Amino acid sequence: MVDVTVKQLADTVGAPVDRLLKQMQEAGLSHRSEADSVTEEQKQVLLGFLKQSHGAAAKPAEKITLKRKSTGTLKSGQGRAGRSVTVEVRRKRTYVKRSEIESAEAPVPQEDAVSQSELEAKRIRDEEAARIQAEEDARLAEQARKEETERKAAEEKQRAEEEQQRLERERLAAVEKETAKTKPSEPKVVSAADIQAKEQSEQRGGKRARGRERGVGSQGRGDDRRRELSLKSERRTKRKQPHRDAPLQVDQQGGEFKPTEFISREVEVGEMITVGELAQRMAVKAGEVIKTLMGLGVMATINQTVDTDTATLVVEEMGHRIKFVSDDALEEQLEASLVIEGETETRAPVVTVMGHVDHGKTSLLDYIRNTRVTSGEAGGITQHIGAYSVSTVNGDVTFIDTPGHAAFTSMRARGAKITDIVVLVVAADDGVMPQTEEAIQHAKAAEVPLIVAINKIDLEGADAERVTNELAAKDVVPEEWGGETQFIKVSAITGEGIDSLLEAITLQAELLEIGAIVEAPAQGVVIESQLDRGRGPVATVLIQNGTLRQGDIVIAGEFHGRVRAMLDDTGSATKTALPAQPVEVLGINGTPGAGDEFAVVTDERSARELAEFRRDKTQERLQAMQQAAKLENMFANMAEGEKRILKVVIKADVRGSLEAIIQAMADIGNDEVSVQVLGSGVGGISESDATMAVTYGAAVFGFNVRADKRAKTLLEKEGVDLRYYSVIYELMDDVKNVLSGLLSPEVREEIVGIAEVRDVFKSPRYGQIAGCMVVEGVVYRNKPIRVLRDNVVIYEGELESLRRFKDDVNDVRNGTECGIGVRNYNDVRAGDSIEVFDTKEIAREL
């Protein structure tokens, strides 16, 4: 055979020349370059070397191993949901030469039998292991297939949503374009990017036209195919473009792309807005807004908020128009929509009956209910409603039961004048009690007229005159004494005076001239709410204006819903509810708070948006109250002004101590700070006291009394400060300390040492070093200093070093020499004075 060169051999075997030369040298051949010739014998030598180096035996193989694969089907699962899984079984078999077997069988026949049994057992074990491995592989493959299927389904769903959104944008763009075509006076502006996109689309359209000439099929199927291909091409074109161009519209007839005009939108922006919400209002992707922000030098993510100025720059940069709106725009829109006009009609008065426990309030309400319910309404009124109507000779009266006064306090806090008249029940044998005083305070705070019902006059120990005197001491003066309050003597057991009480209520209502508009969307207040197991959230509401109908969409506080059903005060279903009528409403998606206003809105979307807005506001307010209600940080919740007020609620064990504490607090304060007592009384701190403190952000002081479990839980939950005292002077000292903390501290400077500069030295480490003599006080190392020249301050700073001889010292006393290095100042001269001073903040006291 003809010899070949090293290069040709390398090309034949597919190996690099350098590697082949290295292997030939290791095999003992004398080839050094790619041009050297290689004989057949040298090839055999090289081949033998390579076999030895790779572990190949010199003698021919005595065994042959064959690997086979067999495919089967394994049924996974049971029932109809079972699936067939393909299982692959791999087998391995070794064959040996017959001559070798015969030579081995003669001398050792027993050993051969043993080896055959071992081989058979090994084969069985291998097959079992292969089967187990195949089942495991099948299980893993099935799991991977399920995950892949779910992932593909999610991706397909996302792509479908994106495709739907894009088609919707194109449809809107087409409508906008058609609208623009109807205005011939407005010229169409086409940018260079639009022209380039049109040229590219025309080229693609020509290719598709040539493809249609060769294609076959119906016209409808061809149109669908062109549309699908055009949409795919459009997506590819959008990905390749570096900038955002106008969206492209597909022509159904010719298959060409036509650029649409840019849509300039009016974007509403409040004080703060997130990047994602801003992008949504401009109908662009959030990534585009983030790019624009980066171009303006602002790094922000999709969930971060930007202020009005930044949002304005982004909107104008992207070619849209800005419209500033208030953060309370939703509330303002609701208020504007709730302005109702119409003819005012007289409505029933709303009366709240209040009084101390065991003074007969419940008995009085039961007597009025049982004797004044209209005929035919057997069974009376369900007790849990909390509000009901009573028919009298002079008209209807709506009574509200507010146990614990929680609802009444919430209503007063929100400024809702739900109550027209307050009936104060006082036991003739017990007199004025702490809760009676609290009811008087509530009535005065709500600015509603008061009617006093002196109950239990049928008892032997009844003393109505004493009750009248005690109430007069609380500024509740009867009409007989020249006041404005009606006093009625009643008995809830015998019914004496009940008619007079109802007449007094009717007379007071006539003086107030209570009226409401009937033909209008309903407005009112939530009295109470609960979560019923079978009916869901149930809210008891009182209509103030308008008419509530079944099917109306209402919003109540932070919740909304459609009125599915209504129950009146007798528990009967009703379709409508008129002003001053309490009803139970089903259909609201939550339990609104007592005192929350409710109103009928036009559409459910507006109600949902406003409810979500109120929930966010409530969450922010609760977070702020966690810090603001603390007594030490009370000033953080006070408005900036000339005078700051500390609000407190005080409860004491006896009347004398309470009056002394209130009088002492009235004397504390000056023109800048003062104390305001929101509520006071004798007895333990109740839940109503806690509600009052939470509502107004006041601190609660207990003098020889404690808070009950409910009040303590409420105060701890809302973060309101609760303090107990047993000595009046400790209470006064704490109040003085709090008020003193509200005063600005007084800053004073005190000169602690003066040193005269005798000479100036140079230091390679500190620069100029002033050799000084301390002539007054003590010079400290870590206090601020002033450098004076001719008694004029020329520099103010701090010491960098203070040494005596070569040792660093912290202070040098009067009459001692020292070296002083002034930080960042190198103009110290002999004759200057270095003044060391200390700044102190002196807390002002009342």
Binding-site positions for GTP read 355-362, 401-405, 455-458
For 264-302, give one letter per residue: b (16+ CB within 10 A) or e: ebebebeeebbbbbbbebbebebeebbebbeeeeeebee
575: left (phi over 0), alpha (psi -120 to 50) or beta: alpha
Give the separation between CA 270 and CA 327, rounded to whole angstroms.
6
* Binding residue positions: 355-362, 401-405, 455-458
Tally of CA atoms within 13 A in the half-sphere of 321 that contains its CB: 6
Contact (Cβ atoms closer than 8 angstroms) between residue 555 and residue 585: no
Question: Residue 152: is it exposed, middle or buried by C-beta count within 10 angstroms (0-12/13-18/19+)?
Answer: exposed
Give the separation between CA 782 and CA 641, rounded to whole angstroms.
38
Give the separation between CA 731 and CA 813, rounded to whole angstroms.
45
Which two three-digit tokens encode residue 167? 């088609």
Contact (Cβ atoms closer than 8 angstroms) between residue 599 and residue 561: no
Tally of CA atoms within 13 A in the half-sphere of 494 that contains its CB: 10
594-597-599 Cα angle (round to 5):
135
606-586-575 Cα angle (round to 5):
95
Element (H, E) at 444: helix 434-446
* C-alpha distances in Å from residue 840, one per residue of 632, 748, 754, 780: 22, 5, 18, 16
Radius of gyration, CA atoms only, the chain = 47
Give the separation between CA 119 and CA 96, rounded to whole angstroms.
13
Q: DSSP letters along 240-279, please?
A: H-SS--PPEEE-TTT--EEEPPP---EEEE-SEEEHHHHH
Question: Residue 599: is it exposed, middle or buried by C-beta count within 10 angstroms (0-12/13-18/19+)?
Answer: buried
Which two three-digit tokens encode residue 785? 């200093």
Number of separate helices (H) and strands (E) present in the chain: 21, 39
**Quick one: which of 777, 800, 782, 785 has its CA closest to 834?**
785
Contact (Cβ atoms closer than 8 angstroms) between residue 614 and residue 592: no
* C-alpha distances in Å from residue 248, one per residue of 200, 232, 280: 12, 12, 20
Question: Would you tell me the crossing angle of helices 687-696 and 406-413 to the nearest 10 degrees?
Answer: 10
Count of beta carbons in the 10 Å neighbourhood of residue 575: 11
Element (H, E) at 758: strand 746-763
Query: Looking at this protein, which amino acid is placed at residue 509?
Result: A
Expressed in angstroms, the distance from the first to the final Cα of the chain is 121
Residues 420, 426, 432, 435: what is their CA dihedral angle, to the nearest 10 degrees? -60
Give the separation between CA 809 and CA 32, rounded to whole angstroms.
82
Q: DSSP letters along 522-565, please?
A: -EEEEEEEEEETTTEEEEEEEEEESBEETT-EEEETTEEEEEEE
Give the separation between CA 387 and CA 408, rounded to whole angstroms.
13
Give the separation between CA 623 and CA 617, rounded to whole angstroms.
10
